[in-house]
Amino acid sequence: MNLRSSTFAAVFGLTLCTGTQASPGHEGHIQATKNKDVAPTFDIVHAKITRDGANLVFQQQTAGEFGTIKPQKTGKLPGSDVFSYVWPTSLDSSIVGFEPKQGILALVLTTHPDFDDTPKYDENRDGTNNNDGNVWHSHWVVLTDDTRCGPTALKVKDIPEGATPKLPSTWPGLPLLLDSPGYEPNLSGKEVTVNVPMKDLGFPDTFKFDGVSAGLQVNANAHNPLLCVTKVHDIASGDLSLPGFLLPEQVASK
């Protein structure tokens, strides 16, 4: 499968769609059948975003136990792998503190044993903040096209050398449009949930989303492009049409 931002560009112009529903009680959710060609831990069968009090709850469910496969440690940053579960959205990049209209804003859960990109947080609770890359953790990323990234032609957007763009306060210092907000994922069997405070997103009324499992790799040249999407395991919708949507507040409260 190819993950191309041109696909996103096409769907952003569409009106809000109804999504794939298993029943009226699953309005806005994405239901998918199991895919025998995908490892069960990467095979997404359900994706949704719902409201829970002051939070938005990002959820994915996989055919097998969630997050059990992690990259092998290489001992160096260039060429190292990043495994991820992604919620691409129709939200503008400015909503989390980047410049407007930078690309595809996505919430991502990642693991990567060769580097730590959450310097403000101690995910493994050992008293050290710089050794937690192998623990599943959250990011906001901006995805954009780059043909140098191979078949997917997609990357986390680089910050050009010498540029000083607007960045979130929890930006980790890497030359990428990547933020480390510290939202802690809750892994439970085949499911993961991430609570995102609605205040962090300006209390959005509604938006569209999809679910993706993918692999990324740090470029051997270590910049421009720095972090490419190298493999797409599964797409919840099957076609990146972003059929999922957050129910408008007046509907969700009924």
State pLDDT tens for residues 205-220: 999 999 999 999 998 7
Q: What is residue 104's three-state secondary structure?
A: strand
Percent above pLDDT 70 for the chain: 81
Q: What is the pLDDT of residue 111?
A: 94
| 254 located within any domain | no
Q: How far is residue 16's CA from residue 164's CA, in Å, rounded to a whole number?
A: 35
Element spanning 87, H or E: strand 81-88
Q: Please indicate, yes or no, if residue 223 is contained in any of the structural domains.
A: yes
Query: What's the pLDDT score for residue 48?
Result: 97
In a domain, 52, yes or no: yes
What the block records as the tokens of 113 is 């044993």
Structure-token pair, residue 141: 């990323």
**What pLDDT digit, counting tens, does each position of 22-73 carry?**
334 578 999 999 999 999 999 999 999 999 999 999 999 999 999 999 999 9
User: How confident is the model at residue 187, as a pLDDT?
Assistant: 96
Range of 242's domain? Answer: 5-19+33-246
What whole-number distance in Å separates Cα of residue 168 and Cα of residue 160? 17
Q: Is residue 252 part of a domain?
A: no
Cα(217)–Cα(195) distance, integer angstroms: 27
Asked if 194 contacts 58 with a C-beta cutoff of 8 angstroms, the reply is yes
Span 121-141, pLDDT tens digits: 555 566 665 555 568 999 999
Q: Establish if 253 belongs to a structural domain.
A: no
Residue 195 inside a domain? The answer is yes
Would residue 205 count as lying in a domain? yes
Instruction: State how far Cα 8 lies from the chain centre.
Output: 14
Q: Of the candidates 118, 103, 108, which has an alpha carbon nearest to the alpha carbon of residue 157?
A: 103
Q: What is the count of structural domains for the chain? A: 1
Residue 252: pLDDT band by 50, 70, 90 thresholds? low
At residue 160 the predicted structure's pLDDT band, cuts being 50, 70 and 90, is very high
Give the confidence band of 19 by pLDDT, cuts at 50, 70, 90: very low
166 domain residue, yes or no:
yes
